[in-house]
Amino acid sequence: MAVRVVVGAQWGDEAKGKVVDLLSQNSRYVVRYAGGSNAGHTVCTNGKTYKFHLIPSGILHPHVTAVIADGVVVDLRALKAEMEALAEQGVEFSRLRVGLGAHLTLPYHRQLDELNEARLEGRIGTTRRGIGPTYADKAARIGLRVADLLDPERFAMLLHRVLEVRNRVLTRVYNAPPIDEAALRDEFLAHAEWLRPIVADVPAMLMDAVARGEPILLEGAQGTLLDLDYGTYPYVTSSHPVSAGACLGTGIAPNQLTEIWGVAKAYTTRVGEGPFPTELNNEIGDYIRNRGREYGTTTGRARRVGWLDLVALRYSARLNGFTALAVTLLDVLSGLPTLKVCTAYRYRGELREQFLADGFALAECEPIYTELPGWDADLSACRRRADLPRNAQAYLDFIEDYVQTPIKLISVGPNREQTILD
Ligand code: IMP
């Protein structure tokens, strides 16, 4: 049975939420494997819009167990707020599970993220959700995990140990007030009570599900080009959004993955700082931003917009081993007479067809474009690839040919039904 992964193929915000929602229909488990509340997924269905940050959007399907796996960093304040907002829309959480091994994002992680960004004058442009500091503590082996929280004595002891150092850093390096240890401990031990019934040994649960042949969907957050190792370092997030990260984050072995879906917009966007060779700082960029409503789900920031970068997309396909591509927001490009796609870079005078996963080197790359004719029709009613205008079909054919991956899903509007499935 299928273990499918959905990965963002670009810099995040590729409308993975919609693809995950569609593929959830025949999955038994939908599992978030990396990142934290920096993510923002939107699903529009039955006239309602649902916003997700930590909870897998698969929760909307009554047959799905939605899992926040050990590779995710969990901010319990954010999780509680998200659960409360979704509960108001009628979502219920008896099928939600959170991994024992997931690291906790604590208020001092958010504070440090804010202070760091202020010190660096927003040089990375993080979401300020404490993601980097949480993963840094994990690597430094001073992180606190969900399992620790369930044992009040252990939690109090570990928190005391970490705050001894943290408070010195906060007060002496940043001139910030120290964290009130007792208040923080009491607040989080209270969180433990609502969390306890939904905590699970996620690797064991998923290994059993794999052994039983149950269909599993692993839901990526962010995107390949934000991967800590393979993205445009240092302008990256602190986790592994790539398909290999799905194995690390869940405990499912690589040879169990049966499908790897890459989700890419028909153009490119980026939030935060960092190189973006095909960026459009002109009226075409504004046109795409407005039609695509390119404003962040998590931070509300206007996204940077550019032409489709096929050099980056092919890198992403090879790195992740995509078996299928989902192309989203194709409808947004309607009305542009000519479309450009980047098929090579000029780097220090040389032509180059390989991506450069080095933030500083990529900043020196100039895009070399191939021009393709645009189309003017409204695509939102198309339900088969053959229904699309000829030039839109040719645009998709060009992508498939360059990236060497079949396009199996095309999104032509925000709603679940505005989709072409091949
Ligand atoms: P962090 O993940 O908050 O540490 O931010 C690091 C970089 O990743 C910044 O450039 C963010 O804008 C970017 N980023 C983090 N999460 C997302 C996302 O869900 N979509 C797009 N960009 C993101």
How many domains does the chain fold into?
3
Which residues constitute the domain of residue 82?
Answer: 3-99+208-260
What beta strand segments (E) does 128-271 contain?
199-200, 216-219, 259-265, 268-270
CATH number of 306's domain: 3.90.170.10
Q: Which of 218, 236, 260 is the last residue of a domain?
A: 260
CB distance 217 to 263 below 8 Å = no
Rg (CA), the chain: 21
pLDDT at 302: 93
Q: Do 323 and 227 reside in the same domain of the chain? A: no
In a domain, 202, yes or no: no
pLDDT at 1: 63
CB distance 317 to 311 below 8 Å = no
Measured between alpha carbons, how far is 90 from 60 in angstroms, rounded to an integer?
10
Of ligand 1's atoms, which has the minimum distance to the CA of residue 39?
19
Q: Do 409 and 312 reside in the same domain of the chain? A: yes
Measured between alpha carbons, how far is 368 from 360 in angstroms, rounded to an integer?
19
Q: Do 283 and 231 reside in the same domain of the chain? A: no
Q: Do 86 and 124 reside in the same domain of the chain? A: no
The verdict on the CB of residue 272 being under 6 Å from ligand 1 is: yes
pLDDT in tens, 118-170: 888 778 889 999 999 999 999 999 999 999 999 999 999 999 999 999 999 99
Catalytic residue among 41, 53, 103, 240: 41
CB distance 383 to 367 below 8 Å = no
Q: Do 65 and 214 reside in the same domain of the chain? A: yes
Q: Do 376 and 284 reside in the same domain of the chain? A: yes
CB distance 209 to 216 below 8 Å = yes
What beta strand segments (E) does 276-406 contain?
304-306, 308-309, 324-328, 338-347, 350-352, 366-373
Map tokens 């679940």 to a residue: 416
In a domain, 203, yes or no: no
Residue 347 clears pLDDT 70, i.e. is over it = yes
Mean pLDDT over 81-95 rounds to: 95
Ligand 1 centre distance from Cα of residue 359 (Å): 15
The verdict on the CB of residue 312 being under 6 Å from ligand 1 is: no
* Report field, pTM of the whole predicted structure over 0.85: yes
Mean pLDDT lowest for which of 113-117, 318-322, 332-336? 113-117
pLDDT at 123: 80
Q: Which CA distances in Å does 181 have to 126, 155, 218?
A: 26, 12, 36
Residue 190 clears pLDDT 80, i.e. is over it = yes
In a domain, 200, yes or no: no
Measured between alpha carbons, how far is 359 from 230 in angstroms, rounded to an integer?
11
Of ligand 1's atoms, which has the minimum distance to the CA of residue 299?
12
Active site annotation includes 41: yes
Q: Do 306 and 412 reside in the same domain of the chain? A: yes
Active site annotation includes 208: no
The verdict on the CB of residue 249 being under 6 Å from ligand 1 is: no
Q: Which of 37, 54, 120, 126 to mutate to test the pocket of ligand 1 (most atoms within 8 A of CB)?
A: 126
Q: Do 381 and 402 reside in the same domain of the chain? A: yes
The verdict on the CB of residue 130 being under 6 Å from ligand 1 is: no
Ligand 1 centre distance from Cα of residue 360 (Å): 18
Measured between alpha carbons, how far is 60 from 56 in angstroms, rounded to an integer?
9
CB distance 207 to 74 below 8 Å = no
Q: Which of 11, 120, 226, 240 to mutate to test the pocket of ligand 1 (most atoms within 8 A of CB)?
A: 226
In a domain, 201, yes or no: no
Q: Which CA distances in Å does 359 have to 186, 218, 349, 406, 413?
A: 42, 28, 18, 29, 32
Q: Which CA distances in Å does 419 have to 19, 27, 196, 415?
A: 9, 19, 39, 8
Write the DSSP assignment of 232-277 as a string of letters: STTSS-SS--SHHHHHHHH---GGG--EEEEEEESSEEE-SSS--T
Nearest CA residue ID for atom 19, ligand 1: 39
CATH number of 64's domain: 3.40.440.10
Mean pLDDT over 309-333 rounds to: 98
Q: Do 254 and 277 reside in the same domain of the chain? A: no
The verdict on the CB of residue 37 being under 6 Å from ligand 1 is: no
Ligand 1 centre distance from Cα of residue 176 (Å): 25
Residue 297 clears pLDDT 80, i.e. is over it = no
| Average pLDDT along the chain | 96
Percent of the chain with pLDDT over 90: 91
